[in-house]
Amino acid sequence: MVLLESILMGTTIAIGGGSLLYYYQNELLYPAKYRKKSREFIVPKFSDEEIPYTEVILTTKDKVRIRAFLCKRKNDEEACQRPTVLALHGNRGNIGKQSSIARNFYQNLKCNIMLLSYRGYGSSDGIPSEEGIKIDAQTALDYIKQHPILHGTKLILYGSSLGGAVAIDLAAKNEDEVDALIVENTFLIKYITFICTQIWPSDEQIKKIKKIPILFLSGKLDALVSQQQMKELYELSNTLAGKEWKEFPYGNHGNTITQPCYWNVIEEFLLWAIFDKNNKKEMNNQ
């Protein structure tokens, strides 16, 4: 009887938990609605003299207005010769929290960079969802590829956490348009897809990428997204353009970007991935 009661209690808890996950997965995965700082429109913490930027308002194919900041090299001739980064943020942020990313890509690596706020984040309209965010990312990529100065530049996708899943999906669908992919502390939902409508099948999409070099950045102390998920993505990747793994021993889900040599690793990756396409390789840096 005790065993039966334990089984019934466990089953009830499992069903209840599964029901909560099913009905509230959007709120759990995209908490911007409940996090004031994610919904606020925060101007990047740099001046126009430091990093010139323009606010861009885009209308998606499903008629949602989303916002982005475009930081283009001051000189048009330089801008068209340098790579362009499309930065895709995590599920708790928005473009106002990406100042350090913009600063490093723009000032140190001399890239153009576009910072995108998904629908429902920052001052972008709409309600976040997997399908909607995919549309937002595609809209931003299309904008860059149609830009009068940036259309011919090398395109780098950079995404952390949720942004990594967005970047993987976008790269898989635009192999001829994307020149490099960088993902940091990205998750897999495949183990609970039977009760999820927000799938983000990165494990399937990563296998479709054949022509794009990929850099995997992983914080070993990540307690939110286990490092095993990143390792699995790395192993599933079979790109012919080369892939690189970099582990940060003291990095967690939120501070990996602040770890020593983080930006040096990205710079070295871009040197061979963007500027030396003939030097395809696989690196495993612990």
Q: Annotated catalytic residue: which of 38, 160, 161, 218?
A: 161
* Catalytic option among 136, 169, 179, 222: 222
Active site residue 89: no
- Say how far apart CA 24 and CA 209 lie, in whole Å: 31
253 assigned to active site: yes
The whole-angstrom separation of Cα 241 and Cα 214 is 8
- How far is it, in rounded angstroms, from Cα 94 to Cα 118? 8
Is the distance from CB of 251 to CB of 259 less than 8 angstroms?
A: yes
Tell me the pairing of strands 84-88 and 155-160: parallel
Q: Which two tokens stand for residue 151?
A: 């259309």
Which one of 123, 142, 203, 253 is the catalytic residue?
253
Euclidean distance between CA atoms 240 and 210, whole angstroms: 5
Examine the residue annotation and report whether 161 is marked as an active-site residue of this protein. Answer: yes
The rounded distance, in Å, linking the Cα atoms of 193 and 200 is 9
CA distance 40 to 34: 11
Residues labelled catalytic: 161, 222, 253
